[in-house]
Amino acid sequence: MIKARGLARRFAARGRTVDAVKGVDLDVAEGELLGFLGPNGAGKTTTLRMLTTLLRPTSGEATVAGCDLRKDPVGVRRRIGYVAQGGGTAPEYKVAEEIELQGMLYGLSKADARRRGATLTEQLDLANLDHRLTKTLSGGQRRRLDIALGLIHDPKLVFFDEPTTGLDPQSRANLWEHIRRLRAEHGVTLFLTTHYLDEADSLCDRILVIDNGEIVAEGSPNSLKSRVSGDGVEIGVPAESVAAAAEIAGRLEGAHEVTCLEDTVRFRVPRGDTAMPELLRALDAADIGMTAMQVHRPTLDDVFLTLTGRTLRDAEERTGEAAEPEEAAHVA
């Protein structure tokens, strides 16, 4: 469904350049639910916008839904759906009107747009909201309307940009259910970007992890997690004792990937629960008071940590290094 080779995008403005995406290769099979995971600023949206023809690549080639991205962008647009971040609903329209209009923009007759809209609103639990103004919808309802709009022309490939950002946990879980069902019932291929680990873990067949514009890992959630060996341990200690505590942790049997932060030491051991008593005794003997402790099974965040030396959370804090926005001139 998607094959991209060396896809890259450089932004340049006021003498500064940002290589937002640095030669990405992608293969997405028909019917797959692929997650594109990475921290803020990693290059997810830029990649997505290139694949959906909204942004011209600086270099590289891609075939999307059977059409060449550079030679036939109109063909690509006709065959894909795009559910953007933040959505694009018109506030003064009623739900049914907006869906109908979107269908007609894609060349459906009014009757076909209505029929298709009715099926989608039914499937997305929006059927009793037909006459509501879109501005009165809740966050979850609005996202479901965005999905209906993205699917109105029956595309076989749908891109979602951070579909559940800003939703409460219950609405997120509900939207995941809808996304799963759409795949099962319509046989669509789904490509979604997210920076939520639980979303990628629970929803996706396969995950591509992107950092600093490059793919750093790829695989099913379980195969990615199995790359991380042992439990993750995080202990809080006074800042002046961090180095000594790290040395003690490093002496535990099988301890590895010991990293120090301001008042925290992180490391991995084969069994976190059995290593703890020994660690406590050793810290006690060195007169180091532990202020906090966490032990956890490998997560996708650990995969990211193992690959990049930082957690996704740390990576998200390091944003705002971009060049000035440079927009319309490069829109295809």
331 belongs to the binding site for ligand ATP (CB under 6 A):
no
Which listed residue (45, 58, 141, 241) binds ligand ATP by CB under 6 A? Answer: 45
Beta bridge partners of 10: 19
60 belongs to the binding site for ligand ATP (CB under 6 A):
no
Report residue 288: phi and psi, to 5°. -110, 120
**291 by DSSP, 3-state: which?**
coil
From the list 43-51, 166-174, 262-270, 300-308, the region that binds ligand ATP by CB under 6 A is 43-51
163 belongs to the binding site for ligand ATP (CB under 6 A):
no
Of the pair 45, 306, the CB lying nearest ligand ATP is at: 45
- The CB-of-85 to ligand ATP minimum distance in angstroms stands at 7
Which listed residue (1, 2, 8, 20) binds ligand ATP by CB under 6 A? Answer: 20
Which listed residue (1, 7, 18, 145) binds ligand ATP by CB under 6 A? Answer: 18
Which listed residue (40, 63, 171, 259) binds ligand ATP by CB under 6 A? Answer: 40
Buried b / exposed e across 231-266, counting CB within 10 Å, b at 16+? bbbbbbbeeebbeebbebbeebeebebbebeebbbb
Closest CA to 151 of 109, 201, 127, 187: 187
Of the pair 144, 195, the CB lying nearest ligand ATP is at: 195
Which listed residue (14, 325, 328, 329) binds ligand ATP by CB under 6 A? Answer: 325
212 belongs to the binding site for ligand ATP (CB under 6 A):
no
Query: With CB under 6 A, what is the number of residues at the site for ligand ATP?
Result: 18
169 belongs to the binding site for ligand ATP (CB under 6 A):
no
Of the pair 85, 259, the CB lying nearest ligand ATP is at: 85
User: Which residue matches tokens 């291929």?
Assistant: 189
Of the pair 165, 259, the CB lying nearest ligand ATP is at: 165
Beta strands in 163-314 (DSSP E): 189-194, 206-211, 214-219, 231-236, 256-260, 264-269, 292-296
From the list 116-124, 139-147, 218-226, 317-325, the region that binds ligand ATP by CB under 6 A is 317-325
Residue 121 burial (CB count, 10 A): 20
**44 by DSSP, 3-state: which?**
helix
327 belongs to the binding site for ligand ATP (CB under 6 A):
yes
22 belongs to the binding site for ligand ATP (CB under 6 A):
no
Of the pair 95, 315, the CB lying nearest ligand ATP is at: 315
Which listed residue (44, 116, 266, 268) binds ligand ATP by CB under 6 A? Answer: 44
328 belongs to the binding site for ligand ATP (CB under 6 A):
no
- The CB-of-127 to ligand ATP minimum distance in angstroms stands at 32
> How far is Cα of residue 92 from the mean position of the Cα atoms in its chain?
30
The one-letter amino acid code at 53 reads: T
Is the Cβ–Cβ distance between 238 and 291 less than 8 Å? Answer: yes
From the list 36-44, 138-146, 216-224, 244-252, the region that binds ligand ATP by CB under 6 A is 36-44
195 belongs to the binding site for ligand ATP (CB under 6 A):
yes
59-64 β-sheet, strand order: 16-28, 2-13, 59-64, 67-68
Query: What does the alpha-carbon distance between residue 246 and residue 77 come to, in Å, rounded to a whole number?
Result: 53
Of the pair 11, 267, the CB lying nearest ligand ATP is at: 11
80-83 β-sheet, strand order: 80-83, 157-161, 189-194, 33-37, 206-211, 214-219
Residue 33, H or E segment: strand 33-37
8 belongs to the binding site for ligand ATP (CB under 6 A):
no
- Complete DSSP assignment for 126-164: -GGGTTSBGGGS-HHHHHHHHHHHHHTT--SEEEEESTT
Residue numbers of the site for ligand ATP (CB under 6 A)? 11, 13, 18, 20, 38, 40-46, 195, 322-323, 325-327
